Amino acid sequence: MKGLKIIVLAKQVPDTRNVGKDAMKADGTVNRAALPAIFNPEDLNALEQALRIKDTYPGTTVTLLTMGPGRAAEIIREGMYRGADNGYLLTDRAFAGSDTLATSYAISCAIKKIDFDLIIAGRQAIDGDTAQVGPQVAEKLGLPQITYAEHINKIVKNRITIQRRLERGIETVTAPLPCLITVNATAPECRPRNAKQLMKFKHAKTVTELQSAVEDYYKLHEDRPYLRIPELSVIDVAADTNWLGLAGSPTKVKAIENVVFVAKDAKQLTADQKDLDWLMGELVANHTLG
Amino acid sequence: MNNVFVFCEIDEGKIADVSQELLTKGRSLANELKCSLEAVVIGSKLEGIENEIAPYGTDIIHVADDKRLEFYLTLPFTTIIVDLFKKQQPQIALFGATSVGRDLGPRVSSALKSGLTADCTSLVIGNHEDKKEGKVYENLLYQIRPAFGGNIIATIINPDCRPQMATVREGVMKKEIFNKNHKSKVVAIDVNKVVTDIDFAVEIIERHMEPRKIDIKGSQVIVSGGYGVGSRENFKLLYELAHVLGGEVGASRAAVDAGYADHARQVGQTGVTVRPKLYIACGISGQVQHTAGMEESAMIISINTDPTAPITKIADYNIIGDVGEVVPRLIEAYRKHSK
């Protein structure tokens, strides 16, 4: 079989395991600038699946597509270090404040500008845990979707066989290409950076990054065009701004409440046997136990 | 028109628990909004399925029964729901946050260009004033969910688009029969008129489903461990205590991620929600993702070396000490009193 053209959808996410006080803006959206940013974990699982197809079917190309602010180019480079061939950064102020539906619309517009046979994405991003963007992108492109993929078994005659992980078991399905697959965290971990790829793509940059770089990379990028990470704007992808950003998002954040624990009248006990005997006596007496 | 709709999922030939819970919630929302509750169920060999649904107080049940729909498939299920919603214009549509609902919900929302909020922990009717537009919206669905890794609780609304769609995890809402003799109108959906061959582009070639082995939700006593338990070995102490007390073992996400316990035991936002009579939290700090799944327990005991851990704020009894020391002593203490 000839190689496939694969798009991997990836997101740079705030590391929600390390959240500070300035993490939220007044309008209820996330202040991404104040947080450490990482490659969304399940998108790495998705990248690994794409790289495995590339291993099996020579001639396959893996293209990363991410939407976000300028710094999101970091994860495109990270993906290239691990084996992706190139990437696009979908970035525009008009995207700010988009909910999942507006985000899916923007991404689907970008995908229409890229030639592909298969789209692979992580199941969900850790900052929202919604698992909506994958299926919504598939719907907007009119493609079948296969969610919760754990293993891509084979690709034969334009049909792909995929193993899915469900709550209580596994299901194997076949789907025609092109289609969109979302990958679970239970799928194999992504391979680490590859030294050769790292050397090759170390200076991969977007135009914006080139302009603000201290060193002059223009000559280098002229000689090695593969180092350029294209930036796509609303105009580049011919998106209708009515469907983007806060205005294009049907869901609105009405209120945000920081989690504050309400103190309850709690009894404090020590680890002494005496205290614990008393506690068990209470629980048995009030029928909590037995 | 403009009613509350619940998508009823079929699990081993029966209406799934989460759908029964959503029907219960849907009935109370419909009462508050003074509208009808409608259910939609899709599957194969569904004769008599309405008898499982109607007791939850539905007014109309839409049934799509076709042998090709025995197992969930994204495309035909989406086509059927989208067609139904376009005709019926629901104001609210609820789905279980299962592998089915989380696959179907976004697809439907995208096709209808309406908003969807995933994994709601609470659904409430309320008003909204848009000061910028000078507009007041009455009787919106407040879709309340933890977000941002559980560090915030967000209230989401869909002011302008319908239906207002939400998914809810199993065990989050209570299930309650409305009236066991309640009768509901049944409307058959003409599947062949709605779906096309293209909808069957994806084929299931194999399914291996296992019956639920571990189900801690039904247990009255749960001994749960967190990352603070320290090892899979130390988790054995928790099994001993759970065995002695006639309960089950639960775990926090951190403990599951560390490999101390199986995912099936995970309590919290990304695991199961439990409401036992007694919940013993061992070495669990009490992140909101975890407490969201256990805070309604009738009694909570925390065992933790840190007297300032967040869990201590919701616990009824705080034992300040090491899990490895305290648990064997609790076993001994219980044996004394249970004789």
C-alpha distance from A75 to closest chain B C-alpha (Å):
20
Domain containing residue B266: CATH number: 3.40.50.1220
Give the three-class secondary structure for B195: coil
B154, B235: one domain: no
- The parent domain of residue A134 ranges over 5-243
pLDDT band with cut points at 50, 70 and 90 for residue B212: low
- Interface mutation target, options A100, A264, A276, A282, chain B, most CBs of B under 10 Å: A276
Q: What is the DSSP string of B69-131?
A: GSS--HHHHHHHHHHHHHHH--SEEEEESSTTHHHHHHHHHHHHT--EEEEESEEEEEEEEET
A263-285: burial string, b at 16+ Cβ within 10 Å, e else = eeebeebebebebbbebbeebbe
Q: Give a yes or no: residue A261 inside a domain.
A: no
Does the beta carbon of A156 lie under 8 angstroms from any beta carbon of chain B? no
A259-263, B26-30, B205-209: range with highest mean pLDDT: B26-30
Residues B293 and B234 in one domain: yes
Q: Which domain holds residue B34?
A: 4-200
Output the pLDDT for position B173: 83
Of B106, B147, B155, the CB nearest to A136: B106
B184 and B72 share one domain: yes
Q: How many domains is chain A partitioned into structurally?
A: 1
Please tell me whether residues B157 and B303 are part of one structural domain.
no
Q: Is A246 on the interface with B (CB under 8 A)?
A: no
Write the pLDDT tens digit of every residue in B240-285: 999 888 789 999 999 999 889 988 899 998 889 998 889 999 999 9
Q: Quote the minimal CA–CA distance from A24 to chain B in Å.
A: 9
pLDDT at A2: 82
Nearest to A280 among B119, B204, B330 (CB): B330
- The pLDDT-based confidence of B7 (bands split at 50, 70, 90) is very high
Residues B185 and B156 both lie in one domain = yes
Q: Does a structural domain hold residue B206?
A: no
One domain, residues B141 and B265: no
Verify that B187 and B240 share a domain, yes or no: no
Reading the block at residue B47, the tokens are 């004769």
> Taking all residues of chain B, what is their mean pLDDT, rounded to a whole number?
93
To the nearest 10°, the Cα dihedral for A274, A275, A281, A285? 150
List pLDDT tens digits, range B62-111: 999 999 999 999 999 999 999 999 999 999 999 999 999 999 999 999 99
Q: Evaluate whether residue A258 is within a structural domain.
A: no
And the tokens for B269?
């936002």
Show Cβ contacts of residue A74 under 8 Å, excluding neighbours closer than 6 positions. A12, A37
For the stretch A119-128, pLDDT in tens is: 999 999 988 8
Residue B211 lies in a domain: no
- Asked whether residue B184 falls in the same domain as residue B62, the answer is yes
* Distance in Å, alpha carbon of A158 to nearest chain B alpha carbon: 12
> What pLDDT is recorded for position A81?
98
Task: Report CB contact under 8 Å: A271, B114.
Answer: no
Does residue A85 fall inside a structural domain?
yes
Q: How far apart are the C-alpha atoms of A12 and A231, rounded to whole Å? A: 15
Assign residue A102 the CATH number of its domain: 3.40.50.620
- CA-based nearest residue to B273, from B103, B151, B94, B121: B121
- Tell me what pLDDT residue B153 has: 83
Contact B149 A271 (CB under 8 A): no
Asked if residue A96 lies in contact with residue A33, where contact means CB atoms within 8 angstroms, the answer is no
In a domain, A29, yes or no: yes
The residues near A3 (Cβ < 8 Å, ≥ 6 apart) are: A54, A57, A58, A59, A60, A61
What are the CA-CA distances from residue B178 to residues B28, B141, B213, B250 (Å)?
10, 22, 30, 32
A125 within a domain of the structure (yes/no): yes
Examine the domain organization and report whether B105 and B52 are in the same domain. yes
Using a CB-CB cut-off of 8 Å, the residues of chain A touching B205 are 161, 172-174
- In angstroms, the CA A134 to CA A123 distance is 7
User: What's the pLDDT tens digit per position in B277-312?
Assistant: 899 999 999 999 999 999 988 899 999 999 999 999
Identify whether B297 is part of a domain. Answer: yes
- A contact residues 116-135, partner B, Cβ 8 Å cutoff: 126-135
- Is it the case that residue A21 has pLDDT exceeding 70? no
The interface predicted TM-score (ipTM) is 0.86
**Given B200, B231, B263, which residue is the final one in a domain?**
B200
Same domain, B41 and B169: yes
The CATH number assigned to the domain holding B24 equals 3.40.50.620
What's the structural domain count of chain B? 2
Q: Please indicate, yes or no, if residue A265 is contained in any of the structural domains.
A: no
Inside any domain, residue A239: yes
Tell me which chain B residue has its CA closest to the CA of residue A185.
B257
Whether residue B231 sits in one domain with residue B176? no
Examine the pLDDT at A25 and tell me if it is beyond 80.
no
Residue B11 to chain A, least CA–CA distance (Å) = 11
Residue A278 lies in a domain: no
* Interface test with chain B among A38, A132, A159, by most B beta carbons within 10 Å: A132
Q: Which two three-digit tokens encode residue B43?
A: 């599957």
Q: Would you state the structure tokens that stand for residue B285, as one six-digit string?
A: 């700090």
Nearest to A126 among B102, B103, B149 (CB): B149
Domain boundary at B176, B200, B224, which?
B200
- pLDDT for A243: 96
Nearest Cβ partner of B103 from A147, A249, A266? A147
Place B150 in a pLDDT band, splitting at 50, 70 and 90: low
- Per residue in A216-265, pLDDT tens? 999 999 999 999 999 999 999 999 999 999 999 999 999 887 754 444 56
